[in-house]
Amino acid sequence: MTLTLPTEEQQQALARAVNLAEIEALGRARLDQNALDYYVSGANDGHTLRANREDFARIRLRPRMLVDVSSIDTSTDVLGLPLDFPVGVAPSAFHGLAHPDAERATARAAASVGSVMTLSTFSNTPIADVGAAAGGRFWFQLYLLADRELSRQIIAQAEAAGARALVFTVDAPYLGRREANERRRFALPPHLSAPNVASRETLAGVDTDTGSQLTHYFQHLVDKSFTWADLGWLRQQTELPIVLKGILTAEDAELAVQHGCHIWVSNHGGRQLDTAVSALAALPEIADAVAGRAEIYLDGGVSRGTDVLKAIALGAQAVFLGRPALWGLAAGGEAGVRRVLELLRDEVRLALALSGRQNLAQVGRDLLKL
């Protein structure tokens, strides 16, 4: 299916949306089943997928009263990059399934509101094109490939395009079993490719008679032997800050710090190991172990400004959106992603004010009833 641009009526519906759930409904309605299955799928029974959101709802806030909240500051910074509010876009593959402008639209939207986009290795758009659209506001996510020379080339392309950090995904030596993708044999439509790692012709040759095209291709692509001992090799390839994405334990957080890396708490959107701990539940022990020696980020289940505050209170420097950005992209391209980020920015500001906090530095665990 070739995507069409949103109609004027759909654009008006996007402008009227008052929360991320409404934008999700609009985005879902514009996707074909192949794309929808890919974006929504979690691993196995989806327990971790659901826990990502449910665990945010379980934590209660302890607001303080009679505080001067006439001026609210939502700004922060990540690895020296100023953000207007503590929300970025997480790496997710194949934005071209959602909108013809694909990752370029997402990058432009993030930059326009003072956010940051993380570009996936499995983008539908070349790195250089996204870098040009991002205006210096992008990180690059890397899967370490069995072909080390190709990995070197990809890292060099990201650096040349202006990436501010290298985000190394550590939780996917194999892809989790996403049963909807297996059942319906997920495959990229013919007009899309993954230019960083595979040509359209290469993907067209991947077996899709059974199971997911991506799973078949991925299993031969990624280096499954890479360990903590190999991080020195990765450091030799780049001077960019390295962020390890997929950390869920204090033990691994300590090892990340020892290896000079920053930490992204994530369970891959519930798409890898089902019944793994939610990112939010893992965050306190990781923050305690790190004790300020590295920056910490989180993705998974964020849908409200109060979710952002809870993650900040538990030790995150910023949170990153996966699926919500894709729903916005499907609903309205660049304008849709921007609308998602603007709604969340305004919710963060309001949540700060109603909690009796003037800025993010005042958000700590005393805000929470755990």
311: CATH: 3.20.20.70
Residue 216 domain-assigned? no
93 annotated to bind ligand: yes
38 annotated to bind ligand: yes
Please work out, in degrees rounded to the nearest 5, the angle formed at the alpha carbon of residue 238 by the alpha carbons of 234 and 240: 110
Domain limits for position 96 = 8-171+239-361
Task: Tell me which of 104 and 218 has the higher pLDDT.
Answer: 104
217 annotated to bind ligand: no
- Catalytic residue numbers, as ranges: 268
Query: Given this model, what pLDDT does residue 103 score?
Result: 98
d(CA 139, CA 297): 13
Distance, CA of 72 to chain centre: 26
Residue 105 domain-assigned? yes
- Mind listing the pLDDT tens digit for each residue in 51-60? 999 999 999 9
Query: Given this model, what pLDDT does residue 216 score?
Result: 74
Query: Given this model, what pLDDT does residue 82 score?
Result: 98
Query: Given this model, what pLDDT does residue 218 score?
Result: 78
Residue 12 domain-assigned? yes
Residue 108 domain-assigned? yes
- Provide the whole-model pTM: 0.96
- Mind listing the pLDDT tens digit for each residue in 291-332? 999 999 999 999 999 999 999 999 999 999 999 999 999 999
100 annotated to bind ligand: no
For strand 138-142 and strand 60-61, is the pairing parallel, antiparallel, or unpaired? unpaired
Query: Given this model, what pLDDT does residue 161 score?
Result: 98
Among all chains, which residue has been given the structure tokens 């700590």?
Answer: 364
**Percent of the chain whose predicted confidence (pLDDT) is above 70:** 96
Query: Given this model, what pLDDT does residue 322 score?
Result: 97
Instruction: With CA atoms as reference, report the closest residue to 343 among 12, 20, 8.
Output: 20
Distance, CA of 368 to chain centre: 25
Task: Tell me which of 9 and 156 has the higher pLDDT.
Answer: 156
Residue 244 domain-assigned? yes
| Domain count across the chain | 1
Query: Given this model, what pLDDT does residue 54 score?
Result: 98
Token pair for 278: 């939610």
**Strand, coil or helix: 354:** helix
- Mind listing the pLDDT tens digit for each residue in 279-288? 999 999 999 9
Residue 127 domain-assigned? yes
**Sequential DSSP letters for 161-172:** TT-S-EEEE-S-
Torsion over CA: 200, 3, 88, 270 (sign) = negative
Query: Given this model, what pLDDT does residue 365 score?
Result: 98
Residue 186 domain-assigned? no
Rounded to an integer, the average pLDDT of 152-179 is 96
- Mind listing the pLDDT tens digit for each residue in 9-31? 888 999 999 999 999 999 999 99
- Mind listing the pLDDT tens digit for each residue in 74-129? 999 999 999 999 999 999 999 999 999 999 999 999 999 999 999 999 999 999 99
Residue 177 domain-assigned? no
**How buried is 151 (Cβ within 10 angstroms: 0-12 exposed, 13-18 middle, 19+ buried)?**
buried
184 annotated to bind ligand: no
Instruction: With CA atoms as reference, report the closest residue to 35 among 153, 187, 137.
Output: 187
Query: Given this model, what pLDDT does residue 209 score?
Result: 55
